[in-house]
Amino acid sequence: PIPSETNFLMADLRRDVGPLIAALKKQGVEVGRKFPSMPTHLRVTVGTRPQMERFLSELRTVLA
């Protein structure tokens, strides 16, 4: 863990997130860009409960 005071998190999905970012965008879900030094990490801004529930639903879909 890295101490932080931000409104986003970096989730290590243990795979290249480039295709996942594109798939989420196609579903209308915007996430942060791919970081070259952290190619398996997805940057996610914390939103409202409905936004986060939608994000998790779409993420499950693109990971399936």
pLDDT tens digits along 18-34: 999 999 999 999 999 99
pTM: predicted TM-score of the whole model, two decimal places: 0.83
| Residue 11 binned pLDDT confidence (cut-offs 50, 70, 90) | very high
pLDDT in tens, 29-61: 999 999 999 999 999 999 999 999 999 999 999
Interatomic CA distance for residues 35 and 49, integer angstroms: 26
Q: Within a domain: residue 49? A: yes
Q: In total, how many domains does the chain have? A: 1
24 sits in which H/E element: helix 18-26
Percentage of the chain lying above the pLDDT 70 cut: 98
Q: Within a domain: residue 1? A: no
How many CB atoms are closer than 10 A to CB 63? Answer: 10
Interatomic CA distance for residues 9 and 38, integer angstroms: 13
- Could you tell me the residue range of the domain that residue 16 belongs to? 8-63
Q: Within a domain: residue 3? A: no
What's residue 62's pLDDT?
Answer: 95
Q: Within a domain: residue 59? A: yes
